[in-house]
Structure 1
Amino acid sequence: MLDFIRKKKESFIIKIVFVVIVLSFIGTMFLVWGKGSEGVSGRGGYAAKVNGTKIPLEEYQNAYQRIRTIYQQIYGQSITPDMEKALGLKKVALDSLIDNFLIAKEAKSMGIKVSKEEVANSIEAVPTFQKDGKFNFDLYQQLLRSNRLTPKDFEEGQKQDLLLSKTRQAIKDKATVSDDEALAQYKKENDKIELEYVSYAPNEVISEVKPTDAELNDYLQRNQNEFKTPEKTALSYILLDPAAQAAKLTVSEEEIQTFYQKNIDRWQGKDGILPLKEVKEKVKADALRQKATKQAFELAADTLYKHTKSNDLKQIAGQLNLKVQETPLFDANAPAAALAGETAVIKKAFELKVGELGGPIETPKGIYIIKARERKASVVPPLSEIRATIEVKVKAAKAVELAKKKAADAARQLAAKGALKAQTTGTFGFSDKGNIPVIGNAPDLMEAAFKLTAAAPVTNEPFKVGNRWYAARLKQRIEAPKADFDKTKQQLKLKMLPKKQEEALAAWVKGLRNKAKIEINQTLIAEK
């Protein structure tokens, strides 16, 4: 599920950016649209309190539904509960409302205002309100009425939306890209590097792992459920075959006709329902089988009831001229061979106490009456019995830890220019996909590698790629011509600016949240 979402995010990255932009609109519009005639407090509870001011529950519910709809449009399908949980839509909706509230408050202290002319221009630019490419006042009023909105409320919403946009833009406008930042990006995009590295895989070091008894016991205690033996039961039972009853029974014409009518869907042919005369023998056989099964069930139930107090399966078997059969101990996932496929019988078997009768139970094989003969509880075996199994698991887990530790030790040796038998990648350039020659797909290592310098040539920590841990050192860097940077510096800065602006805005909003006193109604975002 998460892989699906990640792929969709990559495919629709532009749309995701659109969602981020539109969230501010959603939050603001509902601050006005959602209140209706009830005022700022709304009905019911609150979604959050920000510096003592409540964000009404209704505003949250409206924002959540709108965001959910937008994501459905992005992914082109209904949002399942698992997808909703992975995307965190409830938190997204609530965070957008809180952020917009804080930004709107901060706009006042920044002296940011919105004029009537700006509001009017923004409304006239909305395509929904235009006819033949021009703003149509009658259409505007008609659409507002159909959505139960007054011009005053809608225009206030537009004003708030513009206020937020202007405030965000004011923060973005302060962001700049320095020459050093541009140079670092230029080098990242144009330099070539070569790494030397040492790597370790768990399977290569597992022979060095020698777990102690204490470690084995500790693992067993922490993972008891993994080693519990399944609960087992053994049954005594009798099985009534309805066919024996059928030999003693007949069915009348009326019974045949009734059975045919009640089960008419069974008799489908190419051209529709087959007439009774064409399927009469099959109808008769099925009706007889049903009648026999019913009588066998009633006979078993009556006999069982008469022996409830004695609880004696042998007496019941004797009265029905049947033989008591027995199963060995079995668990629910590996039933006795005689009960293979008898799901209802197996389920009932584990509901009975030892010595207790159960039934009648009807299955395709017949009618069962069962008795729990023995029960073996689920237990955690002692270490001595499952030592080999636990040892395998402990060694596998510790081998992963040891591989990582060896890589970390190797990183320290590489930093100290110690003598290590290292491999090399050959020269390569930066790739957003993170594909490093020889090593493979390693986006995190790629990012770290292009930050390495002659003064700090070794990664601070080992990186896991696939099932291996890597320590890497910069072997050489082939620098791109500085003159080319000077020629492209301004274009590079312009390319980097939008990201820098978004980072500045995100940091500013985070600062507002850190300074604010926010109380969230946790029941709204709790995952069920």
Structure 2
Amino acid sequence: MHFSKSYKNYCISQSTITIITTYINRKWRAFTMLELMRKHARNWLMKVILGIIIIVFIFYFGTMGGRQKAETIATIDGKTIAIVDFQREYENLIDFYRRRYGEMLTDDLLKKLNLKQQAFDNLIHQAIILHQANKLKLEVTTSEVTASILSLPAFQRNGVFDDRIYRQMLRSNKMTPEEFEERQKKLLTIAKVENLIFDAVQISDQEVYDLYRFQNEKININFLQFPPKDFKGKVMPSRKDLEAYLKVHGNDFRKPEEVQIKYISFSSEEEAKMAHDTIYQEENFDAYANQKKLKINTTGFFSLHNPPPEFSRLSDFVSVAFGLQRDEISKVLSDEKGYYILKLMTRKPPYIPTLSEIEREVERRYIEEESRRLCKQEAEIVLNRLKKGEDVKSISRQKGLKVTETGFFLPGSEIPELGSSQELSKALFLISEKKPYPDNVLNVNGNFVIIQFKEKGKLDNDDFEVKKEHLKNILLETKKNEYLQSWLESSKVSMLKEGKLKLARDIKEL
């Protein structure tokens, strides 16, 4: 299908803005391993891996048994989801990701995956889908379960189902055939409900063309840049201004709790333990050091996040030091250099310094914030004038601004002399010949920016026809997921309102 000139130059339809925005947001996030796998799903090796993962999901997921337990997180139609189900689901998720990704799964990535929320949602969503399947009287027959198991590659040898492999895998996962088949039946039931939802998803040619445009259409713009540093000379705060600023932003300058300790060093563990017992019994830290001719070292005041450098290798130093009461001594601590006994001298509670103590820092922040405010205000005034039809070159001459033309580039890529940002990427996709300016001033790399549409490059319709089906599949999968999540959420709200779903625990309590 070829598109007329008028069709190609329309503004983006509202129905696809959400999808495009989602696409942009994904570009600005680190790719997860699942995204990488989906991207390369046509590769034969990746298909084998995905086949194995399907088996892992069957073994490890779908663990809601509806058993009556004292501690529950939710109840659906009188069937409980126990806290042990949640714990198992959570542990299985961790185990699943670790098995799949090995060393690539860092603690930081685990935290970002928010596995507790995933485990909680998995169980609730499973229960909702199975409830709705029962309501719709959707059934999975024994023959359907059998056919699905026979087709799983993990149970096949040379493309044919092997009963010995099947039973061996079940034994290694401590599962009977009946238990596995019941889980498979649940998965097939869930799939039937999902397919009913997915069948309602439609993708128009216009939506597909929108995505193609987003990926391939280059744009040429003019831009005006407003650096906040140019406004710093206009900001001259009085002491009264600084006092008012500190009053409002006092917590930004709050000094944390600090402690000061003194300590004695020892070369051997035995000597340190003997000294500790004597000092503890006789309460004579200083006298003991003088008697044994040991040097008493004193630290300066330090906070929880800024310990003395000499104790940087002591992992429990901070917790021990801040746990001491006044004149209390610590247990014996050690690192590769020796052994230590600490004694708390003084503790400073957290406080907000007076202006006299931090005037320079308060002034610096005040000037920085005020210059940004004035800069943004000036940029907004200029943008409003441009929207009313004033000429960009005329205004730039009045204001001493430089109008820069970028030349053709693909939105989302780095723009020479300007940079890139998520905010800018979204704005570039929404401006056009009919709407040459964005709704708001943009923040790009710390500067305020006004962009002006100039022209768009031509698209290759033959190339679009080649890629059309692939792009349609991308949009279809995105919409399917959005529909499913929306349906699950609305079903959850409805069931909560009707009392069919009762949540006994909050995710924060788990």
TM-score (norm 1): 0.66
Partner residue, 2:448: 469
Partner residue, 1:199: 225
Give the C-alpha shift of residue 10 in structure 1. 8.7
2:275 and 2:380 map into 1 onto residues whose CA distance is 71
Mapped pair 1:149 → 2:175: yes
Mapped pair 1:177 → 2:200: no
Partner residue, 1:498: 477
Amino acid in structure 2 at the alignment position of 1:117: S
Matched-pair contact (CA < 8 Å) for 1:90–1:525: no
Give the C-alpha shift of residue 181 in structure 1. 1.9
Give the C-alpha shift of residue 178 in structure 1. 1.7
1:80 and 1:487 map into 2 onto residues whose CA distance is 39
| CA distance 1:481–1:112, shift in 2 (3 Å) | same
Give the C-alpha shift of residue 89 in structure 1. 0.7
Matched-pair contact (CA < 8 Å) for 2:214–2:429: yes
| CA distance 1:349–1:516, shift in 2 (3 Å) | closer
1:92 and 1:369 map into 2 onto residues whose CA distance is 44
Matched-pair contact (CA < 8 Å) for 1:176–1:497: yes
Matched-pair contact (CA < 8 Å) for 1:27–1:100: no
| Alignment deviations for residues 319-348 of structure 1 (CA, whole Å, 9 cap, x no partner) | x699xx999995358xxxxx996999x999
Farther-moved stretch of structure 1 (78-87 vs 101-110): 78-87
Partner residue, 1:480: 459
Partner residue, 2:383: 411
Q: Which runs of 5+ in 1 are unaligned?
A: 243-285, 334-338
Matched-pair contact (CA < 8 Å) for 1:425–1:439: no
Partner residue, 1:424: 404
Mapped pair 1:216 → 2:245: yes
1:27 and 1:397 map into 2 onto residues whose CA distance is 51
| CA distance 1:378–1:326, shift in 2 (3 Å) | farther
1:502 and 1:398 map into 2 onto residues whose CA distance is 44
Matched-pair contact (CA < 8 Å) for 1:462–1:471: yes
Mapped pair 1:6 → 2:30: yes
1:68 and 1:207 map into 2 onto residues whose CA distance is 54
Aligned partner (choices 427, 431, 440) of residue 452 of structure 1:
431
Matched-pair contact (CA < 8 Å) for 2:228–2:375: yes
2:125 and 2:180 map into 1 onto residues whose CA distance is 21
TM-score (norm 2): 0.67
Matched-pair contact (CA < 8 Å) for 2:72–2:505: no
Matched-pair contact (CA < 8 Å) for 2:74–2:504: yes
Give the C-alpha shift of residue 192 in structure 1. 3.0
Mapped pair 1:382 → 2:362: no
| CA distance 1:11–1:387, shift in 2 (3 Å) | same
| CA distance 1:342–1:435, shift in 2 (3 Å) | closer
1:55 and 1:369 map into 2 onto residues whose CA distance is 50
1:340 and 1:120 map into 2 onto residues whose CA distance is 66
| CA distance 1:449–1:229, shift in 2 (3 Å) | same
Matched-pair contact (CA < 8 Å) for 1:229–1:378: yes
2:481 and 2:469 map into 1 onto residues whose CA distance is 19
2:311 and 2:465 map into 1 onto residues whose CA distance is 80
Give the C-alpha shift of residue 124 in structure 1. 0.7
Give the C-alpha shift of residue 95 in structure 1. 0.8
| Alignment deviations for residues 347-390 of structure 1 (CA, whole Å, 9 cap, x no partner) | 9999786xx7999x999999999997x99887644223432221
1:524 and 1:505 map into 2 onto residues whose CA distance is 22
User: What do you get for the CA RMSD once the two structures are aligned?
Assistant: 5.4
Matched-pair contact (CA < 8 Å) for 1:195–1:472: yes
Select the structure of larger CA radius of gyration.
Answer: 1
Give the C-alpha shift of residue 459 in structure 1. 1.7
Aligned partner (choices 74, 80, 86) of residue 48 of structure 1:
74
Partner residue, 2:22: none
| CA distance 1:205–1:58, shift in 2 (3 Å) | same
| CA distance 1:482–1:152, shift in 2 (3 Å) | closer
1:378 and 1:446 map into 2 onto residues whose CA distance is 43
| CA distance 1:75–1:30, shift in 2 (3 Å) | closer
Mapped pair 1:115 → 2:141: yes
Task: Map 1:219-238 to 2 at 5 A.
Answer: 219=248, 221-226=250-255
Partner residue, 2:399: none
Partner residue, 2:129: 103
Partner residue, 2:492: 513
| CA distance 1:328–1:137, shift in 2 (3 Å) | closer
| CA distance 1:521–1:22, shift in 2 (3 Å) | farther
| CA distance 1:102–1:412, shift in 2 (3 Å) | farther
Amino acid in structure 2 at the alignment position of 1:129: F
SS in 2 for 1:441: coil
Task: Map 1:70-469 to 2 at 5 A.
Answer: 70-77=96-103, 81-110=107-136, 112-145=138-171, 147-211=173-237, 212-219=241-248, 221-226=250-255, 330-332=300-302, 380-418=352-390, 419=392, 420-421=395-396, 423-431=403-411, 433-469=412-448
Identity %: 21
| Alignment deviations for residues 86-135 of structure 1 (CA, whole Å, 9 cap, x no partner) | 21011111112211222222234445432322211101112333344322
Amino acid in structure 2 at the alignment position of 1:510: E
Amino acid in structure 2 at the alignment position of 1:416: K
SS in 1 for 2:190: helix
Amino acid in structure 2 at the alignment position of 1:428: F
Give the C-alpha shift of residue 9 in structure 1. 4.5
Matched-pair contact (CA < 8 Å) for 2:250–2:352: no
Number of corresponding residues? 452
